[in-house]
Amino acid sequence: MSAATGTQPGPLTRADLAAATGADVREAVRAGRWTRATHGLARGRVQANLAIVPEAYAYDFLLFAQRNPKPCPIIEVTDTGDPEPRHCAPGADIRTDLPGYRVFRDGRMVEERRDIKDLWRRDHVAFLVGCSNSMDEVLESAGIPQRHLEQEDGRISVYTSSIPCRPAGRLHGPVVVTMRPIPAHRVEDAYAITRRYPLAHGAPVHVGPAAEIGIPDLSKVEWGRFNPLRDGEVPVFWACGVTPQAIAIAAGVPEMITHAAGHMFVTDLQLAETRS
């Protein structure tokens, strides 16, 4: 572990892990020293959504991701039965290194857990999908305020849109979106900056009236928290890595295991190196 996280056991603060490496964060999670959402941790590293499906669904899922790169930009797909993401996080264990998991069965969320050691099977395939936590940093460093980070829990506003994903095999459903209030004069910048980060969902999918993408009332979030707009701000919507969960629900996928909201997998990849 790095100097930042120390050698003494015990809980850590978000500040302790802000400058940590991805491996540091994963070790802290595995040791039970970090159990909360991961925004702001290991700054500069790519964070990832998780979706584990049985091999029988892996082709449909990978094809779905290929056809829907904005909500589902693939960072890595593990070999069947192998819980180690060898490319983006050598030595990691996908069964223990996220601070929270959700289990979906037959299209319903049935359980939240701290690890999935006893659920992992030899026919499981883990998909790591890009996450907009990575984008927060990029926007912040350009001086574009991130309303959802003004509170410690960092909960962003998440909605199911009326934008359909392109279906693949048995999988279909809507694009899930995050909303950030952006000052009108920075919207163009936010677009230009984020389009260069395809692994963090890339450019916005919609700018302006929420009703145009099937969201009747912004105050009614589906996940996260409503972060109100202030004078002169425009709602800007990006595709969100929660989309696989919406697909599990819409398509009644027999089994999918995901991260819990905001409790992401932290990779070793440098965000700057994924810039296109």
Q: Could you list the residues that contact its own copies (CB under 8 A)?
A: 58-59, 62-63, 66-67, 74, 77, 79-80, 87, 166, 169, 196, 198, 276
* Minimum distance, C-beta of residue 68 to its own copies, in the bound complex (Å): 12
β-bridge mates for residue 127, sequence order = 51, 77
CB 158 within 8 A of CB 240: yes
Nearer to its own copies (CB atom), residue 231 or residue 273: 273
Nearer to its own copies (CB atom), residue 58 or residue 271: 58
* Minimum distance, C-beta of residue 126 to its own copies, in the bound complex (Å): 12
Nearer to its own copies (CB atom), residue 173 or residue 224: 173
H or E, element range at 257: strand 255-259
* Minimum distance, C-beta of residue 62 to its own copies, in the bound complex (Å): 5
> How far is the C-alpha of 139 from the C-alpha of 187, rounded, in Å?
11
Gyration radius of the chain's alpha carbons: 18
* Minimum distance, C-beta of residue 134 to its own copies, in the bound complex (Å): 17
β-bridge mates for residue 257, sequence order = 52, 103
* Minimum distance, C-beta of residue 80 to its own copies, in the bound complex (Å): 8
β-bridge mates for residue 157, sequence order = 179, 224
Residues in CB range of 269: below 8 A, 6 or more apart: 22, 45, 46, 75, 88, 199
> How far is the C-alpha of 27 from the C-alpha of 55, rounded, in Å?
28
Q: Is the dihedral of CA 200, 69, 234, 147 positive or negative?
A: negative
Nearer to its own copies (CB atom), residue 35 or residue 66: 66
* Minimum distance, C-beta of residue 89 to its own copies, in the bound complex (Å): 15
CB 35 within 8 A of CB 99: yes
Nearer to its own copies (CB atom), residue 215 or residue 239: 239
Angle between helices 187-194 and 133-141 (to 10 degrees): 130
Nearer to its own copies (CB atom), residue 62 or residue 250: 62
